[in-house]
Amino acid sequence: MNMKASRLLGARAPSPALSAQREQSSRRRKAGRLRRVAGEGARVPSINGRVSDVVSSQHVSVLPDDHVHVWRVPLNHSSEDTTLSLEVLSPDEREKAARFRFAKDKNQFVQARAALRFILGQYLNVTPQDLEFSYGHHGKPGLANGEASLRFNLSHRDGLALIAVTRGREIGVDVELVRADVPVFEIADVSFSSAESATLHGLRESLRAKGFYNCWTRKEAYVKARGDGLSSPLKQFDVSLTPGDPAKLLRVRDDDNEIDRWTLQEIPAGENYVAALAVEGTDLNVTCRDWNLPQ
């Protein structure tokens, strides 16, 4: 099955253009509502119609070396909200946004990127549009300047983005929406190791979908942490997948040291989603926080 094609299902046509006046007043209203809702009672900044007015928050900027923050950002299908989010994107990100064929995919890319810029900007105490990204060989984004130790990864799927942030260690995150009609064994044949496929086949039917998504998200989070993307030999490493078992990298062919190098963790992403985090190191403090874009 082509997962990318499945993501395109349900794409909606762009909403009709608003008149200039209506759009301006609506954006002002939306801008005032753009806010981050952090755990631990952090301040809630509003942008008052201009993205450069964002106030940094003490709580967001405090990220000790052994901590990982995973931000959950609900995304919506509103092209209006996307217009607002576009303001903080760089020219190359806007060009990328303009190339999406379906409004749904464009909206989610733009809103997730905007959220990424707001969140990272607050750790670094810079305005979101001042951040510059560079890209690894396989497209993994990182910070081009600013605080070099800050590392992050992003995943977005059907209405939800996860943004994982840490310091001085590689990190990857993946979220998937659970679909009941997914041909789990067909995909496992292509992407899972023989040990993972055997474990999946051994699960009773009621646990199979969860086991499948556990495996998928953990593998993807790991290859994203390494930055390898599609070039990674997916069958040459094993992750745990049985529902209830802790997330774990179980084996990496020809490299026993890898297993002790990484922490894998399931992330509570919400009903119908399965998500995983892979991060270099052990004994880490992982917390989830919520960030809301305008609705």
Ligand X SMILES: CC(C)(COP(=O)(O)OP(=O)(O)OC[C@H]1O[C@@H](n2cnc3c(N)ncnc32)[C@H](O)[C@@H]1OP(=O)(O)O)[C@@H](O)C(=O)NCCC(=O)NCCS
Q: CB-side exposure of 170: number of CA atoms within 13 Å?
A: 17
Stretch that binds ligand X, among 30-38, 60-68, 152-160, 258-266 (CB under 6 A): 152-160
String marking each residue 40-79 x if it binds ligand X according to CB under 6 A: ----------------------------------------
Q: How far is the CB of 23 from ligand X (least distance, A)?
A: 25
Q: Does 104 help bind ligand X (rule: CB under 6 A)?
A: no
Answer whether 209's CB lies under 8 Å from 182's CB. Answer: yes
Q: Is the distance from CB of 269 to CB of 75 less than 8 angstroms?
A: no
Among 72, 106, 151, 156, binds ligand X (CB under 6 A): 156
Q: Which is nearer to ligand X, 67 or 96 (CB)?
A: 96
Considering beta carbons, is residue 59 or 248 the nearer one to ligand X? 248
Our finding on whether 155 is near ligand X (CB under 6 A) is yes
Number of Cβ atoms within 10 Å of the Cβ of 133: 18
Should residue 230 be labelled a site residue for ligand X when binding is judged by CB under 6 A?
yes
Task: Name the 3-class secondary structure at 87.
Answer: coil
Q: Is 151 in the site for ligand X (CB under 6 A)?
A: no
Strands 285-290, 67-74: pairing is parallel
- Which CB contacts under 8 angstroms, 24+ apart, belong to 225-228? 225/153, 225/170, 225/171, 225/172, 225/262, 225/278, 225/279, 225/280, 226/170, 226/172, 227/136, 227/137, 227/138, 227/140, 227/170, 227/172, 228/138
Footprint of ligand X on 197-226 (CB under 6 A)? 216, 219-220, 223-224
Q: Is 235 in the site for ligand X (CB under 6 A)?
A: no
Applying CB under 6 A, which residues contact ligand X? Answer: 109, 112-113, 138-141, 153-157, 172, 174, 191, 216, 219-220, 223-224, 227, 229-230, 234
